[in-house]
Structure 1
Amino acid sequence: MAGVEKWQEQLRQWVDNGQLRQATFSQLRRKDGSIPPKTTVRPIQLKGSLHYQFEYHFATKVTHDNVPQADAALRMAGWLEEHYRQALFKTDTADVQVLFNKKGKAAVLGKPATAKGEQDQLSHNRQKERVIQEGEAAPFMVELGIMTKDGRVASKKQDKFRQINRFLEMVTDVLPYLPEGREIKIVDFGCGKSYLTFALYYLLAIQQKRQISVIGLDLKEDVIAFCSELARKLGYDRLHFQVGDIAQYNEQTNIDMVVTLHACDTATDAALVKAVEWGAAVILSVPCCQHELFRQISNDSLRPLLAHGLLKERFAALATDAVRAQLLEVLGYKVQLLEFIDPEHTPKNMLIRAALGRKDDTERKWREYEAFRDVLQLSPYLERELSSRLPQAGLP
């Protein structure tokens, strides 16, 4: 398999036969900023036909271009010859590396396939990563300016598109905990512009045809007015928005899922308290601005850490979420702390995902919590508000 013409022909056959699983182009010939330092290519299904998605990795952004199967081999060959010195093609039968020297001559190296037999798994993973596929326009995304009417993601909205899909992936994993055979009731505290609220409704009510009702709550009247009008325009008749405060909200008695994204400081805890009191089966919370424990934390042994404001702030934020997770565990929730989006884009990237199960090892978890709390001399809002439900309430 030597020479440029031979590898080009082989590439065309891989693409035509649907055998190419991934291509990676790297080592720029010229670094003028117009060409991404790395480009990856993967097969995707769009509207029932095979395309190849070109993912361009620039220093500060990632963009995409979906190319029909018939044009993909020519695009890749030209892309490599003009812009890169190296490419790795992963196929069903082999991994093939093409290397160009300074004189433009190609060397081709082959080794056993790492993608062999992985086609079904790769397809599954792509579907999980992209609950909403590019190329298939979701009406709410079009209205919010994330997608064009033909399903292309706006270049400035790629981060938001990935964030929405990441959120829906996390929701999909806990759907088995939600009730079957009846309406699912959901409350989104601090919904803001409601990108994720609309996405959640789209997933459950439109894609999965589930019977649901969703309430979005926020303090900003103009935001609520905008979201209410958009829900009406989209025909999302089981999605409603209200102006209100988390701590004062008492209009519901039984809620199945509570979502709270970037509720500031103890507003996150107030939402968690409501969720526990309602017996919510699922809680999804992205905390924000954890100030409460910053003012409380004290430990002589940790003085080298706590003496620096920046370190203390970060430590306090981690301690706050550890408190929340452990108390939810004590109350019978299975808790995971997950990276919500790439920390490159925001430091507020941790999501608390809790699903209600059986209370297991409650006393041990409570003792662990007490030891953690006491060594840092903490008095958390969440513990005080849930005190009647915690093991200490039954102690003499």
Structure 2
Amino acid sequence: MEDLKKSIKEISNEEIIRIVISNKMNKENEYNKINISLKEKNNKEYYQIEKFTDKQVFHENIDKNDLEVKLLEFMQDYKQLAAWSANNNFDLKISKKGKVFLGKKKSDNINLLNKSHNKEKNYILKEGMIIQPLIDLGVFTKEGKVVKSMYDKYKQINRFVEIIDDEIRKNDYKELTILDFGCGKSYLTFVLYYYFVEIKKINVKMIGLDLKKDVIKKCNDIAKRYGYENLSFELGDINGFKYNNKVDMVITLHACDTATDYALYNAIKWNSKMIFSVPCCQHEFNHQMKAESLSILTKYGIVQERIAALMTDATRANLLEAVGYKTQLLEFIDISHSPKNILIRASKGNLSKDKKEKSLQEVNTLIEQFNFDPTLYKLLKDDNLI
């Protein structure tokens, strides 16, 4: 015990940046490992402790002066500790017989120090920016500060903008034509316009489409009030909307059930460079689903509903690949905030013939196995696109 105290004291006497505690002595210990990192907030340094179970992470913050006591407490249950200071690496091990070994090696860890401090996340839509749509939405105050009760919404909006920004940064776009299907009265369309014009300095023409006449009028009035000259809203149905000019990007958020399929179909027909779609209310597969050999999937209603929704998005993603889009399914927001948290991101790419054929074959297998008749599949088939 004295050797352990001495070793931990030697480690704690240095400016420790990071610690990893592992190799638990007792399998019944719920924490598989413990990470400790030096953080900084409001010019005050502290240590953040992360305790990892099989499925969760538990956090705790402690004062810098409490590190030695905390390490001594933890090391009653673990056999190994690795620590990094600005100038040294430490490796502490405890043998089966309880013997303590401490290794110390000179190392320059200054970069680790810089990375470890808890710097503010570099959001694209930063606090301090006067973004009128976010102010009107109640996310920002008039001074550009995040309203505390709206911080989750602020993160969600930034997450969506980041997903788009990942694609935009791949090319030096000077101008873009963007169609936003089913825009509704959400302020996200206005936020995106701000992002493209004010942050990325791209010359955009953006059109929002919705079925409600009063919504369209209100949105056009707001765009005029904001001075968003190249943002307009039109009355129309996704299923039959016609647009004869080039379309670089199609956005569809929460278009209900097969409306998402018509939006994707139109985007494909226009040969859009980029597609961003958050589907909603996927009823089609749930109503069609039959699975004689896998009846366990249809035995319980809630299981069938969720699996059918996931299969719907997987089918859409594969069909996009089959017509030449590099496609990803991403978590848009945390599922605790909304179960409608999958975003389809697709960009026109050079996919091999084998890749396209495999993606289509996977869809055909799913259709055959579960008796599906996907709307997007029919639309593309009828147009000889697959």
Residue 370 (str. 1) matches residue 345 (str. 2): no
Residue 87 (str. 1) matches residue 62 (str. 2): yes
Residue 231 (str. 1) matches residue 231 (str. 2): no
1:349 alignment partner, one of 320, 341, 344: 341
SS at match of 2:327: strand
Q: How far off is 1:41 after superposition?
A: 10
2:276 alignment partner, one of 257, 281, 284: 284
SS at match of 1:387: helix
2:239 alignment partner, one of 244, 247, 264: 247
SS at match of 1:386: helix
Structure 1 residues 176 and 133, CA, compared in 2 at 3 Å: closer, same or farther? closer
1-structure distance, mates of 2:112, 2:342: 31
**Contact 2:17/2:116 (8 A) holds in 1:** no
Q: How far off is 1:270 after superposition?
A: 0.6
Structure 1 residues 200 and 86, CA, compared in 2 at 3 Å: closer, same or farther? closer
Matching of residues 122-201 of structure 1 within 5 Å: 130-176=123-169, 180-181=173-174, 183-201=175-193
1-structure distance, mates of 2:149, 2:17: 29
Structure 1 residues 367 and 124, CA, compared in 2 at 3 Å: closer, same or farther? farther
1-structure distance, mates of 2:242, 2:120: 41
**Contact 1:190/1:262 (8 A) holds in 2:** yes
1-structure distance, mates of 2:216, 2:135: 19
**Contact 2:17/2:38 (8 A) holds in 1:** no
1:359 alignment partner, one of 351, 363, 368: 351
- Per-residue CA deviations over 1:141-178 (Å, capped at 9, x if unaligned) read 11222101222111232121111100011001111466
* Residue 112 (structure 1) aligns with: 84
2-structure distance, mates of 1:219, 1:125: 44
Q: Quick one: which amino acid aligns to residue 323 of structure 1? A: T
* Residue 211 (structure 2) aligns with: 219
User: How many pairs align?
Assistant: 314
2-structure distance, mates of 1:141, 1:42: 30
2-structure distance, mates of 1:154, 1:145: 7
SS at match of 2:134: helix
TM-score with structure 1 length normalisation?
0.70
SS at match of 1:194: coil
Matching of residues 24-35 of structure 1 within 5 Å: none
**Contact 1:366/1:391 (8 A) holds in 2:** no
TM-score with structure 2 length normalisation?
0.72
**Contact 1:189/1:260 (8 A) holds in 2:** yes
Instruction: Report which stretch shifted further, 312-321 or 187-196.
Output: 187-196
Residue 258 (str. 1) matches residue 250 (str. 2): yes
Structure 1 residues 99 and 137, CA, compared in 2 at 3 Å: closer, same or farther? farther
**Contact 1:337/1:351 (8 A) holds in 2:** yes
1-structure distance, mates of 2:256, 2:329: 18
Q: How far off is 1:96 after superposition?
A: 5.1
Q: How far off is 1:223 after superposition?
A: 2.4
* Residue 273 (structure 1) aligns with: 265
Q: How far off is 1:299 after superposition?
A: 1.4
Matching of residues 298-377 of structure 1 within 5 Å: 298-360=290-352, 361=354, 362-377=356-371
**Larger Cα Rg: Structure 1 or Structure 2?**
2
SS at match of 2:359: helix
SS at match of 2:126: coil
RMSD over aligned CA atoms reads 3.6
